[in-house]
Structure 1
Amino acid sequence: MDTHYIFLDVDGTLVTYENELPVSAVKAIKQAQKNGHKVYTVTGRSKAEMYEEILSIGFDGYIGGNGSYIESDDKVVSERTLTYDDCRKVVDWLNEKELEFYLESNDGLYGSKHFAEKAEKTIQIYAPRKGNTDSDMITVKDAFPDMIFSDELYRDKINKISFLLNNHDDYLEAREMFSEFKVGTWGGAGETALFGDVALSNIDKSTAISLLMKHINETGSKTIAFGDAKVDIPMLDHCQIGVAMGNGGPEIREMADYITDDVTEDGLYNAFKHFGLI
């Protein structure tokens, strides 16, 4: 059996939008690895959000920050992050605009002074899009249990900075203000914009996969990617086979080579079986 290199988005693909990890997904990954395949996570999450339940599966590598950080066999392959000066520039603008935010790094999530208070309503809108049925009770601490609230918000090695959007104009202003960076939006299932984010430009999940495959000298090997959102489209397009989850948005399902079942309906397991990985 030829070795396949398998790249998995996390939210909405490996785990549900309420952070539930299907037993069938773990079974599929472990069986695929036993069959000689390599499995990597490719996610917007910084390592601080890769909780033990996920890491304990035992992946062959990890791509985080939507491509800014790459590990293979527990060794750092690449780390491209916002500098201290980049961070200060963005933080100063957000403070001037009175937009609450948090910094995402592999060391932790660092929230602005009033983020817990100001973000609560936004989180309660976001929560049902991640499948949480008690959305009217959820707090920022529930959503981000390990977030650190600190006055030290000028930092280096930041993967990205996410901030609350009061309206769409905030995103448009940020995109104009930080034209040298990649400015995006996110908001859970359906991808409605609730947050904006700022990260380095010219980095995405596909560029990270290219770097990883070059590092391990497997550029000609078979690759297959799984995702559910627009941010996953570059890696599905880049890999030889692109699989969209059934719960994915219309754009990724339209461009995918194959559409599997929802993450809650054993989508990963069924696709792994369909492609002969298990």
Structure 2
Amino acid sequence: MGQKIIFLDVDGTLVDYENRLPHSALRALEKARKAGHLIYLATGRSKAELYGEISQVAYDGYIGGNGSYIEVADQVVKEETLSYEETKAIVDWLEARQLEFYLEANSGLYGSRNFEKRGQPTMQAYSKSKGKEITTVKEAFPELILGADLYRSDINKISFILDSYQDYLDACLAFPEMKLGTWGGVGEEALFGDVARGNINKGNAVSELLAHLGINAKDSLAFGDAKVDIPMLDVAGVGVAMGNGGPEIQAMADFITKDVNEDGIWHAFEYFDLL
């Protein structure tokens, strides 16, 4: 098989929802790189969130912030952040509504004044829905920075706790030029909203990266487990959904592998002769 480029979502794909990296996945990535294939992470996480077992992974580059940041072999190819004025407007709006939030940047995660206290029951509910047990915000976000200046110009994305689904709908009205989403639940059960630049998604980032490298999309594979990964799977020559993935991504994928904790990455790499 000729050289392939592989794009891997992180949460629910490469690692489980307790941030555990299966040994089989680590072995699969090592063997695939040894075979000459390229490995790129493609995640909503900022670079500051690539901690724990993920730091063991050797990869050729990284897409972060759901597509706002692209790095190839330590060279920054793209970094499209919210401007200082945009961040200030969003922060002011969230604070006026007394909604707690955190700012996601490659330099770190910056929590709002009461995020640690208000976020505890929300993160407990989120972790419970994923079959795990998180007791504190610091356990979920060990690198969270509190008390910092929140008016910044290096922010990829802002996540905010929803007191109700109406908060998300109102945010859509307040920032129509931005890309708004929800996570941590479906529809009105969502726990968080998030906001980023309007043209940002993983699919666009994958296309930009492939063009930068001069690689045809047919020579790429993308792995994901959630709706946010669908644009990336659409662009790639082969789209792989995890067995633990949602119904939407499984319906459009070319191949459904096993769950993340059932050697899903290894199973798919073996199936596609990448090892």
TM-score grouping bracket, smaller chain normalisation:
over 0.9
Corresponding residue for residue 79 of structure 1: 79
Paired position in structure 1 for 2:199: 202
- The one-letter amino acid paired with 1:163 is F
Going from structure 1 to structure 2, the CA distance change for 1:27 and 1:217 (only over 3 Å counts) comes to: same
| Residue of structure 2 equivalent to 1:98 | 98
Specify which of 160, 165, 171 is matched with residue 162 of structure 2: 165
Match of 2:7 in 1: 7
Tell me if the contact between 2:242 and 2:259 (Cα under 8 Å) persists in the aligned partners. yes
RMSD of aligned residue pairs (Cα, Å): 1.5
Runs of 4 or more off by more than 2 Å in structure 1? 188-192
Q: Any residues of structure 2 matched to 1:172-191 within 5 Å, and which?
A: 172-187=169-184
Deviation at 1:180, TM superposition (A): 0.4
Q: Is 2:211 the partner of 1:222?
A: no
1:150 is aligned to: 147
How far apart are residue 54 of structure 1 and its match?
1.3
Q: Could you tell me which amino acid in structure 2 is paired with residue 254 of structure 1? A: A
Q: How many residues align?
A: 275
Q: CA deviation at 1:38?
A: 0.4
Say if 1:164 and 1:90 are closer, same or farther in 2 by CA, change over 3 A. Answer: same
State the TM-score, normalizing by the size of structure 2.
0.97
Question: Could you tell me how far 1:146 is from its partner in structure 2?
Answer: 1.0
State the SS of the aligned residue for 1:7: strand
The structure-2 alpha-carbon separation of the partners of 1:160 and 1:273, relative to structure 1 and needing over 3 Å to count, comes to same
C-alpha spacing 1:220/1:185, structure 2 compared with 1 (3 Å): closer
Indicate the residue corresponding to 1:115 in structure 2.
Answer: 115
Describe the SS at the equivalent of 2:113. Answer: coil
Cα distance in 2 for partners of 1:10, 1:129 equals 18
Change (3 A) 1:253 1:192: farther
Partners of 2:118 and 2:152 lie apart in 1 by: 22
Cα drift, residue 219 of structure 1: 3.3
Distance 1:209 1:122 in 2: 32
Gaps of 5+ in 2: none
Name which of structure 1's ranges 63-72 and 218-227 shifts more when overlaid on structure 2. Answer: 218-227
**1:191: Cα distance to partner?**
11
- What residue number does 1:63 align with? 63
